[in-house]
Amino acid sequence: MRLLGRLCALLGLTAVIGLLPLMSGRDPALAVLRARSADREPDAEAIASVRRELGLDAGPFELLGRWFWRAVHGDLGASWVSGEPVTGQLGPAIAVSLTLTALAALVAVLVMTLLVTRPFVRGLRGSSAGRAGFAAVLAALPEFLIGSVLLLVFAVRLGWLPTSGWRDLSYAVLPAIALGTPAGAILAVVAGDALRDALAAPWRRSWTGAGFRVRTIALAVVRRAGSVVTGQLGIVVAGMFGSAATVEVVFGVPGLGRLAVDAALAQDVPVVQACVLVILLVGAAAGALGAMAQRLLLGPALTDGALESSAPREITSGRLSLLLPLVAVVAVVLWGIWRDPFTVDLAARLLPPSGAHPMGTDALGRDLLARVAHGALHTAALAAGVTALVVVIALLVGIAGRRGSGAADLVNALPTVVVALAVAATAGPGWTSAVVAVAAVAWAPPAAHARSLALEQRGSAHLTAARALGASTRHIMFRHVLPAVVPPVLRNAFVRLPAIALALASLGYLGLGAQPPEPEWGVLLAEGMPNVERAPWVVAFPAAALVLLGVGAVVAAARMR
């Protein structure tokens, strides 16, 4: 049933991709005609001719069938802008993105190994393994922020590596590190939890008491934890392949992600269709390979009911460490909210921090403190709205749905950037497109959480007794199921709120979300990058705000029960 859900979801998403031309916010025939002859005003006869050429008059089902048939035979149509075949643009871009993703995967595995080795060795010796706090903080940083810092330090300041382009593997070093570092930190968090569970499991104590060598026990612990890591590795690799767009834009890498972003901004729907389809298929394949590796590592224990888990652990965190990042963000907001973030003063361009401008000014002479403070409110308001929408969707889908977990898994593996590309190609870039894209992906994990809680409640003894006493479905839902499901799902959503804010900032950086002159953090970073060498503060202060948000998210999540 789970495989059937994945297949149905894959077919459904493929159908949506095939119908993107009809979802466009503009007439596809008009867009093609204007791209072919921009200086000529199209008439009705010319538009009708192009519509017949594109097959748009045939209806959605025939259009989808034709697109699918051509796609199976390797024909993905022609660009609306250039008129060139899409497949000719895809080949080199896919090769670049696959190379970059493979190198980033190596970086991710290396980062994970470095972060978990010391806690693992301590755990084998009987000491407390500790928690990977640094890994959790690193995992909260967006790729484009890490890439911007690496570009500034190692390419611009030191000149050790190229700044942009793609000629040989030296051009892939910084992009691979930027893409693979947060992914490796995510894997380190997962691996650290899995290793602690395996080290605390009853079988490990039994093996130690029976006199097994430490090396034998270590290999068994690694295999048990590896089954958890490989299940996530496929999703992480799929996410890197899709979200490589941010890194490719930062470093000017001519990969699939950059091709898709440029096409989405130009609303070149056929190119976006092809890019999203390739990313979707690669993501589905990576997720399936990760699931297969997980089953192979678990072996017969998966079906024989022989798996053991340790007792649940209580997570604690100091109150002071929780308050410091949040207090810093609030202080910045209160400090700069009274300033005007839009006033342009060309005589005050790129001024360094001073008493009049505590964070300096940007390339248009606008006060950076005001823009960072207003950006915090802008990003937080959008993130709160998306989180509220996600909670509603998660409760509706999770409580009402008894099937479809495979579909939720596939949606969860989709990077937000991929959905944003499709939305921007049809509706155009903007904060509305960013909200729709983030919400379209973010509902899946809370929905799976709500579904598992609802199923647990439906199978509980007290609900069976309530039904036997004649309680109505409405009474059971509002007095038993919802009170048990809503609070944990709300906590789950609260933990994900900063990640949603970071996703919105990433889309703003790519130009798919909020648009200038909006004072959104991603927009601020995108505006500041051309002047980062001359005025590093235009990137440093928005980046510091994102870092504080990520740290606050990690510590707040650690205190959630």
How does the average pLDDT of the chain come out, rounded?
Answer: 74
Interatomic CA distance for residues 362 and 50, integer angstroms: 45
Better-scored residue on pLDDT, 179 or 203:
179
Say whether 319-559 and 86-304 share the same fold: yes
pLDDT-based confidence at residue 104 (cuts at 50, 70, 90) = very high
Tell me what pLDDT residue 39 has. Answer: 59
More reliable by pLDDT, 374 or 35: 374
The residue count for the chain: 561
Place of tokens 């407390």: 128
Residue 334 has pLDDT above 70, yes or no: yes
> To the nearest 10°, the Cα dihedral for 30, 34, 37, 39?
120
**Token pair recorded at residue 200:** 């605390």
Region 78-90: mean pLDDT is 79
**Cα 166 to Cα 553: distance, rounded to the nearest angstrom:** 35
In percent, the amount of the chain with pLDDT more than 90 equals: 7
Name the residue ranges covered by the structural domains of the chain.
2-72, 86-304, 319-559
pLDDT at 359 (0 to 100): 93
Phi, psi angle pair for 392, to nearest 5° = -60, -50
pLDDT band at 279 (very low <50, low <70, confident <90, very high): confident
How far is 242 from 417, CA to CA, in rounded Å?
A: 7
pLDDT for the residue numbered 149: 81
Q: Is the pLDDT of residue 538 over 60?
A: yes
**How does residue 407 score in pLDDT terms, banded at 50, 70 and 90?**
low
Residue 78 has what DSSP assignment? Answer: B
First to last CA, the chain: 32
Task: Identify the pLDDT of residue 100.
Answer: 93
Token duo for residue 493: 């959503």
Q: What is the C-alpha separation between 140 and 183, in angstroms, rounded?
A: 10
pLDDT exceeds 50 at position 208: yes
Q: For position 6, what pLDDT does the model report?
A: 55
Q: What is the mean pLDDT of residues 415-430?
A: 70
Q: What is the CATH number of domain 319-559?
A: 1.10.3720
Q: Which long-range contacts (CB under 8 A, 24 or more apart) does 305-313 make?
A: 308/201, 308/202, 308/203, 309/197, 309/201, 310/196, 310/197, 310/198, 310/199, 310/200, 310/201, 310/202, 311/200, 313/196
pLDDT digits (tens, 9 = 90+) for 469-508: 666 666 666 666 677 677 777 766 666 676 777 778 778 8
Q: What are phi and psi of 367, to 5 degrees?
A: -70, 120
Residue 150 C-alpha from the chain's centroid: 20
Candidate ranges 95-109, 492-506, 515-529; pick with highest mean pLDDT: 95-109
Structure confidence by residue, pLDDT tens digits, 4-26: 555 555 556 666 666 566 555 55
> 86-304, what's its fold?
MetI-like fold (1.10.3720)
For the ranges 299-313, 448-462, 500-514, the maximum mean pLDDT occurs at 500-514
The H-or-E segment that residue 435 falls in is helix 431-442
**Section 300-322 average pLDDT:** 46
> Is 200's pLDDT higher than 70?
yes
State yes or no: pLDDT of 56 exceeds 70.
no
Average pLDDT over residues 182-186: 84
Does residue 82 carry a pLDDT above 60? yes
- How far is the CA of 466 from the CAs of 67, 456, 469, in angstroms? 53, 15, 5
Query: Residue 177 — very low, low, confident or very high, per pLDDT cuts 50/70/90?
Result: very high
Average pLDDT over residues 379-400: 79
Asked whether the whole model's pTM tops 0.85, one would answer: no
